[in-house]
Structure 1
Amino acid sequence: MLQDMASVAARFSARDTLDGRIDEAFALMQAMGFDGLIYDYTPSTAGLDGRIGIPTLLKLRNVAGDMHDYWCDREYFRIDPVQRLATQTSVPFFWSYDPGVETRISRLLTDETKPVCDFLHAHDMLSGVTVPVHRPQGDYATVTGVRYGARRDFMAEALHRLAEFGLLAQIFHEAADELFDEPVRNGSGVRLTKRERECLRYSSHGLSAKEVSRIIDRSVPTVVMHLNSAARKLGAKNRTEAVARAAHYHLLDEPPSYKS
């Protein structure tokens, strides 16, 4: 079905909204035997506290709508065995919450993860395939196809389609990523001005306020003002922490252009 990858990519490109491209992905996944789609994007694998980050984007198709509340607001995402495994691997994997089926998440099922198991059992979301998509900048996404009910024969079927599903997920994520807005991309809710970003970016390269002032042709007090403003917005105690927080939220991704 997915032999012509160019045509699959074209199908995504023909949809000019993020939700439209997600709908397209879901249609392709249904043709592969999946009943539901879960798509999430997290700006960083770990948050500033070192725990698994909460996604800034969670999109569902034919999945219980209250999952968004539980996974994001109640932070089930942090204890989700599938997500814990996804942060550790870039290889697509099959998972199951059927007690009679051994999968890679089985060793991660503990008393801590019981709320997740209870939710999924209550909604009959017992098995599926997840594709982790890790990016060089540290952000990552997972594309999950869900199968309802405890069907033992689905494991063999899903494993047979693992490579095909993985490729579809990669193509889909590239198409979805093009349409992310800034709040989804950085996850901080912070909006820095162009000058604040510029001053922080140069500071991240070890330049002093005086050196930055020469590069951007502004006074030292002006540079300090921009750095302090950025630190306040980021909730940082000092310039070093502000740079670290800005880097964590991908606010410094544009490479600096030094003047000769």
Structure 2
Amino acid sequence: MTSLVPVGAASVQDGSTGGLAANLERATNLDSALDALHQALVDLGFSSFAYGRTAMPRLPDGSLASPLVKTRAFPSRWDRHWSHLCDPYYRFCLNTTLPLKWIDVQTGERLSAGERACVDHLNDKNLHYGITIPLHMPNGSFAFVSAISENSTTYQDGSSPPAVNALFTLCHHFQNTLLRKWPWNDSTATKAWLSARERECLSLAAQGKTSDDIALILGLSCETVRSHVKRAIMHLNASNRAHAIAKAIQLRFIDVPFA
């Protein structure tokens, strides 16, 4: 039996999709595309969102690989003392293609102590009422969009079947457009997440260079180098410089010449 969508909800969905499609075509990079998606999600009643992706969601040993995440309208330093690898929403959405309501995960009994701590941490940051749309891509790569409502009232509206259908449509249209305009490969992924300067600084740091050394090599001030490294750490969701270097090498964002 075909379910009927209320006329008002259908018009919102059609309008949001059409507006997003036009704005995505004008987007020149990932950040401007994310801004377009944010506006479409706000029109649906979601106040903030996170977009994550990884070329390899699971490592060869079966453990989860930490995705790279970009956010809009999230609290400052929301991910401090928080591990993507303990994120139960990420773990659950890897195994489904359907929208995942965070409340369903929070009330489950299959969460580890680390996952429960992750949920509590996000709740403390007012990141409680979320819906994640899994986006499985070619060659085993994976992405997701987690749309957040700011309170239980807006969540009730945002979690209605018509709203979830609209969210599902918007997120898949967004991802399909990204794949068409910026095909998934190491080069485009690098450009999307790290600037050329951030990659240069991390690459030299991986070779054992200090900030003073890097500043001299690149003709920059030491403070500018530290700023590039700090942004790279943030963009890679790393805890420090060594962690950022390790993640950049793992993701093939930088190459390290070995003697």
Aligned match of 1:254: none
Shift of 1:70: 4.7
Percent identity of paired positions between Structure 1 and Structure 2: 20
How is 1:204-243 mapped onto 2 (pairs within 5 angstroms)? Answer: none
1:92 correspondence with 2:99: yes
Across the aligned residues of Structure 1 and Structure 2, the Cα RMSD in angstroms comes to: 3.0
Q: Deviations over 1:205-238 (max 9, x none)?
A: xxxxxxxxxxxxxxxxxxxxxxxxxxxxxxxxxx
User: Runs of 5+ in structure 1 lacking a partner?
Assistant: 97-102, 190-247, 251-260
Q: Secondary structure at the match of 2:70?
A: strand
Distance across 2 between alignment mates of 1:2 and 1:8: 10
1:63 correspondence with 2:70: no
Whether the 8 Å CA contact 2:101–2:130 is kept in 1: the answer is: yes
Q: Secondary structure at the match of 2:13?
A: coil
Whether the 8 Å CA contact 2:64–2:85 is kept in 1: the answer is: yes
Aligned match of 1:106: 107
Aligned match of 2:13: 2
Shift of 1:13: 1.0
Q: Secondary structure at the match of 2:63?
A: coil
Q: Secondary structure at the match of 1:118?
A: helix
More helix by share: 2
Distance across 2 between alignment mates of 1:58 and 1:184: 15
Larger of the two Rg values belongs to structure: 1
Aligned match of 2:186: 182
How is 1:194-205 mapped onto 2 (pairs within 5 angstroms)? Answer: none
Aligned match of 1:141: 143
The number of aligned residues is 180
Shift of 1:22: 0.2
Q: Deviations over 1:142-185 (max 9, x none)?
A: 00101123x16623541331111001001111233433662564
Aligned match of 2:57: 45
Q: Partner letter of residue 61 of structure 1?
A: R
Shift of 1:50: 1.3
Aligned match of 1:158: 159
Shift of 1:131: 0.3
Q: Which one of the candidate residues 19, 27, 44 is aligned to 1:15?
A: 27
Q: Partner letter of residue 97 of structure 2?
A: S
User: Runs of 5+ in structure 2 lacking a partner?
Assistant: 1-11, 195-249, 253-259
Shift of 1:125: 1.0
Whether the 8 Å CA contact 2:149–2:158 is kept in 1: the answer is: no
Distance across 2 between alignment mates of 1:58 and 1:166: 19
Whether the 8 Å CA contact 1:39–1:142 is kept in 2: the answer is: yes
Aligned match of 1:170: 172
Aligned match of 2:86: 79
